Amino acid sequence: MTFPVRFNSCLKWVTAAVLCLSFLAGQAAALDVGGKAYFLMDPYSGRVFLADDAEEALPVASISKVMTLVLILEAADRGEVSLDDLVAASPFAASKRGSRIWLEAGEQLPLGELIYAIAVGSANDAAVAAAEFLAGSEDSFVELMNVRARELGLEQTVFRNCTGLPEETGSNQMSAKDVAALVRHALTVPGLMDFVSTYEHTMRADTTGIPVLWNGNKLLRRYYGVDGMKTGFTTEAGYCIAATAERDNLRLIAVTLGHKSEEERESAARALLDYGFRKYQSLELYGPQEAVGSLECPTGNPQVVDVVLPDKFLVTVERGKELDLTTVIQLEANLAPPVQAGQIVGSICAYYGEEVVGMSPLTVRQTVEKLSLPALIVRLAQALAKAVF
């Protein structure tokens, strides 16, 4: 049994029932910010604002650790590990150089502390210790990293280790576009932003208090709205950064790779974020649980149920062009009761011309139960009586 669709007369702008197939990326002229590649996007809608050489695979150094953090915290969210679990450092993990927290072989630290070491201090020894704890060996963990990359559609990504350090077999490679897509996913991983937004953290706080870590992402203190994500540097990769910032409900992801100095890297990230915040704005079209239509079910109880937004519906538009928006609703066909409250029954898209600038699932406000046969007979009889009289 299908649900006939009723659209509220108070829908904002224009509403129609069509299928939203994909996001269309809008791209502006390139900026001259130096480096080898950059990418600027809105993670909520998927809109691309700026891109330059963004699909070229490049070494990304410690930006690789975003995937390391994703895998650890996804495992924690599934209950496979706990942040309180004690992790013993192997001799191999303790041997890692570069950024580190000077783990000693056999030393035990809680997994949560190692995550801080990775996110804040970019510690290579902590990354390997955590990887070995989760997967048994760094090589096995790297296999998981590459599998997750394929699942997330990162087409130009190859991981060779969990740290981003160069190896004889080569370095971890990602495109700027892939980095942005990974950061976009990382924003949804429970707990991850708590770690990458931390600017200072003291390791071994109950004993030596050594070392005190400061985040390599200086924009956390220097740029209003920045709350993550990760920097990286090797001689081969140059200075790289993936930064995310939010102002007035507008979130941006800026990725820039292959710079000659920390100053140039920061200047490039600033220029990308400045461009996005200056030119675009986020608008709230609907609030949480606001009805945008209704579903009618002849065999359900209730017979009509509101179709609502589970969360506020934000769209990103160029400043001054908000009046040119249209909204489009697609509801599932052949949806039969019972339907649970909160169940996704369709989607709403906001368009600027042909470009999708926002998208959200639609749910039902209350549960629709299936009518018993006697109740259905009564309903049909009442409907027939109304039609006759």
Indicate whether 227 and 302 sit together in one domain: no
Say whether pLDDT at 6 is over 60.
Answer: no
- pLDDT grade for 388, boundaries at 50, 70 and 90: low
Indicate whether 179 and 222 sit together in one domain: yes
- Mean pLDDT of the region 83-110: 98
Final residue of a domain: which of 225, 244, 259?
Answer: 259
Indicate whether 15 and 41 sit together in one domain: no
Say whether pLDDT at 15 is over 70.
Answer: no
User: What pLDDT is stored for residue 302 in this prediction?
Assistant: 87
User: What pLDDT is stored for residue 310 in this prediction?
Assistant: 94
Indicate whether 218 and 367 sit together in one domain: no
Domain containing 221 equals 37-259
User: What pLDDT is stored for residue 25 in this prediction?
Assistant: 39
Annotated catalytic, 36?
no
Say whether pLDDT at 307 is over 90.
Answer: yes
- Domain presence at residue 158: yes
Query: Averaging pLDDT over each range in 20-34, 164-178, 353-367, which range is the top one?
Result: 164-178
User: What pLDDT is stored for residue 358 in this prediction?
Assistant: 87
**CATH code for the domain in which residue 171 is found:** 3.40.710.10
Indicate whether 254 and 296 sit together in one domain: no
Say whether pLDDT at 32 is over 70.
Answer: yes
- Domain presence at residue 199: yes
Indicate whether 74 and 160 sit together in one domain: yes
Q: What average pLDDT does the structure give for the chain?
A: 89
> For the chain, what is the radius of gyration of the CA atoms?
25
- pLDDT grade for 13, boundaries at 50, 70 and 90: very low
Say whether pLDDT at 169 is over 70.
Answer: yes
Final residue of a domain: which of 241, 259, 277?
Answer: 259
Tell me the per-residue pLDDT of 191-226, one tens digit each, with 9 for 90 and over.
Answer: 999 999 999 999 999 999 999 999 999 999 999 999
Structural domains of the chain, count: 2
> Considering 45, 64, 65, 230, which one is annotated as catalytic?
65
User: What pLDDT is stored for residue 379 in this prediction?
Assistant: 60
User: What pLDDT is stored for residue 384 in this prediction?
Assistant: 73
Tell me the per-residue pLDDT of 310-335, one tens digit each, with 9 for 90 and over.
Answer: 999 988 889 988 778 899 999 887 77
Indicate whether 141 and 245 sit together in one domain: yes
Say whether pLDDT at 110 is over 90.
Answer: yes
Annotated catalytic, 261?
no
Indicate whether 251 and 315 sit together in one domain: no
User: What pLDDT is stored for residue 26 in this prediction?
Assistant: 41
Indicate whether 44 and 136 sit together in one domain: yes
- Mean pLDDT of the region 302-311: 91
> Considering 45, 90, 122, 294, which one is annotated as catalytic?
122
- Domain presence at residue 70: yes
Indicate whether 94 and 223 sit together in one domain: yes
- Domain presence at residue 28: no
Indicate whether 241 and 92 sit together in one domain: yes
- Listing DSSP states for 323-361 in one string gives GGEEEEEEE-SS--S-B-TT-EEEEEEEEETTEEEEEEE
Say whether pLDDT at 65 is over 50.
Answer: yes
- pLDDT grade for 56, boundaries at 50, 70 and 90: very high
Indicate whether 254 and 336 sit together in one domain: no
Say whether pLDDT at 376 is over 80.
Answer: no
3-state secondary structure labels for all residues of 14-32: CCCECCCCCCCCCCCCCCC
Q: Of residues 187 and 46, which shows the higher confidence score?
A: 187
Annotated catalytic, 260?
no
- pLDDT grade for 22, boundaries at 50, 70 and 90: very low
Q: Of residues 15 and 338, which shows the higher confidence score?
A: 338
Say whether pLDDT at 269 is over 90.
Answer: yes
**CATH code for the domain in which residue 306 is found:** 2.60.410.10
**Parallel/antiparallel/unpaired status of strands 212-214 and 108-110:** unpaired
Final residue of a domain: which of 224, 259, 294?
Answer: 259
- Domain presence at residue 32: no
User: What pLDDT is stored for residue 336 in this prediction?
Assistant: 82
- Token readout for 38 is 């950059």
Classify residue 32 as exposed, middle or buried by CB count within 10 Å of its CB (0-12, 13-18, 19+).
Answer: exposed
